[in-house]
């Protein structure tokens, strides 16, 4: 299990169970373990997700993002839910909570 700090300085866990979930559902992310963690620590944007989730976005190329969905439960605990590549995000339509 790896732990990184979010932009809010909250420790965010990537458990083995969540990593297996990510690569089983998004096999294109199999070699992106470190980049998923880096997206939490150094995102280009953090946008509002569903049900208090946050989405860290790291732009990979024009119009394509690595999206990492996570929750900050308390000021000292949070976890990654899932991650995926997307080109469907229109940043100007999102609720931007933080940007680089």
Q: What does the domain layout of the chain look like in residue ranges?
A: 2-99
Strand partners, 72: 78
Question: What Å distances lie between residue 62 and 1, 31, 59, 66, 89, CA to CA?
Answer: 32, 21, 7, 12, 12
Q: pLDDT tier at 89 (50, 70, 90 boundaries)?
A: confident
Residue 90: pLDDT over 90: no
pLDDT of residue 92: 84
The predicted-structure confidence for 66-85, as pLDDT tens digits, reads as follows 999 999 999 999 999 999 99
pTM here is: 0.95
The predicted-structure confidence for 10-67, as pLDDT tens digits, reads as follows 999 999 999 999 999 999 999 999 999 999 999 999 999 999 999 999 999 888 999 9
> CATH assignment of 2-99?
3.30.2310
**Cβ atoms 18, 69 nearer than 8 A:** no
């Amino acid at each position: 299990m790896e732990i990184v700090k979010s932009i809010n300085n909250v420790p965010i866990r990537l458990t083995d169970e969540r990593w297996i979930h990510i690569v089983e559902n998004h096999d294109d992310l199999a070699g992106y373990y470190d980049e998923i963690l880096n997206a939490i620590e150094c995102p280009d944007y953090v946008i509002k997700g569903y049900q208090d989730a946050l989405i860290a976005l790291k732009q990979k190329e024009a119009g394509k993002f690595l999206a990492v969905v996570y929750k900050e439960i308390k000021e000292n605990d949070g976890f990654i839910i899932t991650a995926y590549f997307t080109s469907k995000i229109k940043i100007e339509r999102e609720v931007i909570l933080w940007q680089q």
